[in-house]
Amino acid sequence: MIREVYERYGFEPLETPAFENLDTLVGKYGEEGNKLIFKILKRGEHEATGAADLALRYDLTVPLSRVVAQYQHELPKFFKRFQIQPVWRADRPAKGRFREFYQCDIDAIGSTSPVVEADILGSVSEVLSKLGFSDFVIRLNDRRALGALLECAGVPEPLHADALIALDKLDKVGVDGVHNELTTRGIDAAATRRSLDFFRGLAQEEPHGGGRLQRLREFVAGDQKGTDAVKSLDDIVQLADGTEAHGHIQIDPSLARGLSYYTGAIMEIAVPDLAGSLGGGGRYDNLIGMFLGREVPACGFSLGLERLIVVMTERKMFPDRVARNAVEVLVTIWNDDSRGDSLRLARELRAQGLRVDVYPEPDKLGKQLKYASACQVPVVAIVGDDERARADVSIKDMRSGDQRSVSRADAAAGILEWLKR
């Protein structure tokens, strides 16, 4: 379903290798991220040195950026790709957090236009709607706005990273908690007060309305980058209004996102019953440049497959019967002499499109029927001595108990008719 939506939005499929050169990954995910990269030991005589030269994909964004830099001359000016592959992080496993997990990414390369953000948010919103989610919230912010906010609050530049870590906890520890965090991290009383006053004011605004953006606009009015960021956020909200993201976006100036490569819009999607997010993304206009030597604008979003599955399972959002291409017929084996005949019958039935298993060895018929029943195989085909003599086959519907003899030629048709019941 995810792939179908991504393709309908014009994203092309891409897969990348599980490994990247260690150098490609290190330094792209912040200090915490660096520690969580799985590193691969050098091979051969170098193994004894304990040195690592390769690493496993930590996300799909950095490998994409490497690919874009490497194949720049073969890609269209605007390159939109989706990628659904596992990534690996040496994290402590928890609910919905695994060391190997699937990311479902879309990225649009080549344009700084806010149309890109709107189209991406529309696409992931349609995925979530199609999966049956209606209560998801898209938190939207901009890295430049965050910087301006701290600047205008009087947090000195060298402490911005510390302040961001503190502010990022606002929805978890509240205003008082963040006050302590900021103070502990060496932010002075005046800057702490100004920051928190801003967030207190913000809390009085409708989450979905324009009031939050207006307060942000006023607070960063003296800062050019901040003003640009607010304009861009406004554009994204307006444009996304015409997409499936309509009604889901909340401006959230406390959203920081951990990864260090973001440069503009940042976004995260959450539902009330999951700590952490279902996915996140943002604009990273400098990352490809780190490989290519010239800047290429880019923006992307990543949905976490296992997170979706955890919530959908808990909410019982999956249909009772997920289509499972299970075995439809078990062909029994009477004795050693009849084994070849059973395999031939299986071949004939498979040629008619039936999914057929063969009991692997001669055994009491009752035991074979019991096995079919335990495995929930709906139909059993029996080629015993009598059937072989008559060149026919007995078929038994395990659900109704019906049994009848049919010619070999009619066996598949008879079974297919039963399966339709």
Q: Pick out residues in 45-104 that bind a second copy (CB under 8 A).
A: 47-52, 54, 56, 76-78, 80, 86, 88, 90, 99-100
For residue 263, how many other CB atoms are within 10 A of its CB?
A: 18
Does residue 145 bind a second copy (CB under 8 A)?
no
DSSP per position, 299-335: EEEEEEHHHHHHHHHHTT-S-SS-------EEE---S
Burial tier of 166 (Cβ tally within 10 Å: 0-12, 13-18, 19+): buried
Does residue 43 bind a second copy (CB under 8 A)?
yes
At a CB cut-off of 8 Å and minimum separation 6, what does 114 contact?
232, 235, 236, 239, 265
- Of 169, 231, 350, 388, the one binding a second copy (CB under 8 A) is 350
Minimum distance from CB of 19 to a second copy (Å)? 7
Question: What is the C-alpha to C-alpha distance for residues 253 and 171, in angstroms, rounded to an integer?
Answer: 11
Does residue 354 bind a second copy (CB under 8 A)?
yes
Of the pair 128, 346, the CB lying nearest a second copy is at: 346
**What is the per-residue binding string for a second copy in 236-275, x denoting contact by CB under 8 A?**
--xx-xxxx-------------------------------
Minimum distance from CB of 64 to a second copy (Å)? 17
**Nearest partner of 127 among 314, 321, 307, judged by Cα:** 307
Part of the chain binding a second copy (CB under 8 A), chosen from 195-203, 259-267, 288-296, 350-358: 350-358
Which secondary structure element, helix H or strand E, spans residue 340, and what is its range?
helix 339-351
- Of 312, 327, 365, 419, the one binding a second copy (CB under 8 A) is 327
Does residue 286 bind a second copy (CB under 8 A)?
no
Residue 11's identity, in one-letter code, is F
Of the pair 213, 239, the CB lying nearest a second copy is at: 239
Does residue 130 bind a second copy (CB under 8 A)?
no
Of the pair 99, 193, the CB lying nearest a second copy is at: 99
Does residue 189 bind a second copy (CB under 8 A)?
no
Q: What residues from 290 to 319 belong to the interface with a second copy (CB under 8 A)?
A: none
Does residue 38 bind a second copy (CB under 8 A)?
yes
**Nearest partner of 35 among 27, 47, 43, judged by Cα:** 27
Q: Are residues 64 and 105 in contact, defined by beta-carbon separation less than 8 angstroms?
A: yes
Minimum distance from CB of 181 to a second copy (Å)? 25
Minimum distance from CB of 306 to a second copy (Å)? 12
Q: Are residues 158 and 112 in contact, defined by beta-carbon separation less than 8 angstroms?
A: no
Minimum distance from CB of 288 to a second copy (Å)? 16
- Tokens for 385, please give them: 């001595």
- Of 169, 185, 339, 388, the one binding a second copy (CB under 8 A) is 339
Of the pair 9, 418, the CB lying nearest a second copy is at: 9
The length of the chain is 421
Of the pair 178, 298, the CB lying nearest a second copy is at: 298
Question: What is the C-alpha to C-alpha distance for residues 130 and 128, in angstroms, rounded to an integer?
Answer: 5
- Tokens for 378, please give them: 């709906």
For the chain, count helices (H), then strands (E): 17, 16
Could you tell me how many residues of this chain bind a second copy (CB under 8 A)?
76
Part of the chain binding a second copy (CB under 8 A), chosen from 131-139, 181-189, 273-281, 358-366: 358-366
Does residue 337 bind a second copy (CB under 8 A)?
no
Q: What is Dmax (Cα atoms) for the chain?
A: 97
